[in-house]
């Protein structure tokens, strides 16, 4: 059997709009103006996955692939009670774990990744979720986006998680012409100082999820139509 290790709680700290305005030079460039407007539009933007520690966020993020955060939270409410630590996942019966995460879709692959990932955490990191990009991406089933979510949200380490929402917002606002998440991440890192990276993850995802949607974007309710090249081109 794999030994059991305790987890720990985390607190997410956000940069306020006044603090962001201090960081962004005046007069603001296009990227800075866009971030200020998004920040002002969504004062309550947050990570919607429910979690109490880095391991829970890691599992929830793996489950969130091709699944809504709301559905993930419904699944993890019981999952986190049944599997309270990395050892519980590593020692889990794979079929039982598959059934537990089935509603998230792609459940066989997700269950396999969670089990293998937690075994790595136990044997290679003494049961503690690592807090570095290299260590996180070396875990089974953990890619750069998932690692960036962990760094930005659980560990408050400067990182930008480029998911489908962040990619769409960045492209439509003309902040990048790239399609690769890794290249988009590099473009955003060049545009914004490190102290803003955590907030970009939270704010761009929120804006993309609720306003700048893939289909039927709510451009009439958006705070950025006059500085959005995608919208201006659409109405031209």
Residues assigned a catalytic role: 145, 163
Three-state SS for 23?
helix
Q: Is 160 left (phi over 0), alpha (psi -120 to 50) or beta?
A: beta
Other beta carbons within 10 Å of 187: 17
Token couple for 113? 């990744």
CA-nearest of 33, 32, 39 to 17 is 39
CA-nearest of 214, 223, 160, 212 to 191 is 160
From first CA to last CA, the distance across the chain in angstroms is: 64
What is the DSSP annotation of 102-130?
Answer: GGGSSHHHHHHHHHHHHHHHHHHHTTS--
> What is the spatial distance between Cα 36 and Cα 162, in angstroms, rounded to a whole number?
19
CA distances from 49 to 42, 122, 228 (A): 17, 24, 29
């Amino acid at each position: 059997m794999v030994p059991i290790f305790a987890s720990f709680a985390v607190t997410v700290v956000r940069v306020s709009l006044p603090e962001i305005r201090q960081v962004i030079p005046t007069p603001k460039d296009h990227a800075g103006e866009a971030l200020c407007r998004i920040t002002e539009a969504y004062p309550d933007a947050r990570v919607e996955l429910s979690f109490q520690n880095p391991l829970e966020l890691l599992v929830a993020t793996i489950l969130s692939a091709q699944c809504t955060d709301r559905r993930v939270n419904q699944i993890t409410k019981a999952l986190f009670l049944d599997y309270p630590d990395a050892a519980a996942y590593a020692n889990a019966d794979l079929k039982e774990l598959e059934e537990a995460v089935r509603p998230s879709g792609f459940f066989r692959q997700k269950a396999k990744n969670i089990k293998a990932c937690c075994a790595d955490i136990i044997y290679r990191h003494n049961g503690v979720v690592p807090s570095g990009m290299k260590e996180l991406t070396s875990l089974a089933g953990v890619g750069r986006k998932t690692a960036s979510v962990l760094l930005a949200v659980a560990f408050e380490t400067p990182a930008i998680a480029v998911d489908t929402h962040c990619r769409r917002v960045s492209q439509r606002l003309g902040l990048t012409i790239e399609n690769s998440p890794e290249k988009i991440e590099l473009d955003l890192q060049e545009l914004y100082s490190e102290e803003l990276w955590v907030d970009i993850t939270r704010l761009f995802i929120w804006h993309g999820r609720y306003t700048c949607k893939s289909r039927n974007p709510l451009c009439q309710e958006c705070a950025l139509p006059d500085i959005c090249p995608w919208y201006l081109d659409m109405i031209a």
